[in-house]
A and B are shown apart, each in its own frame.
Chain A
Amino acid sequence: MIVRISGEGQFEVPDRHVEELNRLDEDLTKAVDGGDEAQFTAALQALLTSVRTAGEELPADWLGPSDLVLPSPDATIHEVREVLGDEGLIPG
């Protein structure tokens, strides 16, 4: 599947890697819900590193939508909540 790291580019990640991403996403979700900035940064870096290592960056002229879009490496909880808007406060 195609994963975009915001501000960085798109990666093609093997489907079997999704489980791993979901696991890392749980930590990230907890950090945002708890408002813990340090934990958030650590969880985000872990998630993005996992995408970069398991995936392959797509060429710059590749054109197509992504299945997942992740926040940029230097995003803050505040910025993520801003994108999420009202929904950010309601765990789905």
Chain B
Amino acid sequence: MGLMRRFSNIFKAKASKTLDKYEDPRETLDYSYERTLEMLQKMRRAVADVATSRKRIELQAQQLQRSAAKLEGQAKQAVSQNREDLAIEALTRRQSIATQLTDLQAQHDQLKAEEARMVEASQRLQTKVDSFRIRKETMKANYTAAEAQTKVNEAISGIGEEMGDVGLAMQRAEDKVAQMQARSGALDELMASGALDDASMSSDRLQAELDRGFAEPAVEAELARLKGELTGGGTTAKQLGAPDQETARSGAPAPAEAPVEEDRR
């Protein structure tokens, strides 16, 4: 037997099992209708699960993008200080974040497609359920045992098949969500471990060295000023905190405004 028929037979056998049959076809109709309503509820929850998983990935991507941007800035700082070693370190970290981001994008696209399919499937089921409800009432009102059996069976197999199909779609979506959640969890752990952090976080050697790179010229200038004062020479001290240095430091915690307040006292 070809695949097409094997697949059909098993699918239909499974679908027909989703609905119990009662002695009185009218009862079967009511029962089937209840089941389809339950299925619609489940379907909506499944769509929400996929959306939650997608949003989690979006948050992770935002976090990684922020880190990547900071590392880019740090690499620039390092280059401006002629610290190629630090620049390479920052760019290497940025590269591994870029890889993670590509992976996240692919997962995100998959989930989005899955979400769209689920929404479509639930709309289809909704239409069938509405049609089933109307037919069910008509059949019950004009019920005669002779004609009922065939008509009822047709409507029930139809709705049962739709439920089987929706059930399959839901199973797929659940599998995907479970896979993505496992990967998201692994990425969360990786992020928590600091492996993907930008260098301004925690006591990071990269940022510390960059800060020192900016602090040293300033300290030297201060030293020169003091020396100038002591020797009584009229040499003008170099200005501290030149604007280019201030803006380049934005990655580090901003120094408190304490000196200004002292001046005001």
Contacts and interface: CB of A to CB of B under 8 A. Distances in A.
Given A25-B2, A92-B1, A66 B128 contact: no
B168 A6 contact: yes
A64 B160 CA distance: 9
Size class of the B contact interface (CB-based, 8 Å): 20 to 34
Contacts of A70: 4, 7-8
Given A61-B130, A62-B158, 16 more contacts: A6-B168, A7-B165, A9-B124, A25-B3, A25-B4, A26-B2, A60-B128, A62-B131, A63-B131, A68-B4, A68-B5, A68-B8, A69-B12, A69-B161, A85-B10, A92-B6
Pick the most buried of A29, A65, A91: most chain B CB atoms within 10 A of its CB.
A65
A49 interface: no
B35 interface: no
A83 B168 CA distance: 9
Nearest to B14: A83
Interface of B: 1-8, 10-12, 14, 117, 121, 124, 127-128, 130-132, 135, 154-155, 157-161, 165, 168-169, 172
B10 A6 contact: no
B121 A7 contact: yes
Size class of the A contact interface (CB-based, 8 Å): 20 to 34
Given A65-B154, A69-B12, A7 B7 contact: no
Contacts of B11: 6, 69, 83
A80 interface: yes
Nearest to B165: A6
A62 B128 CA distance: 7
A18 B227 CA distance: 99
17 contacts: A4-B161, A7-B168, A9-B124, A25-B5, A28-B2, A63-B132, A68-B5, A69-B8, A69-B12, A69-B165, A70-B4, A72-B168, A83-B14, A83-B168, A84-B6, A84-B7, A92-B1
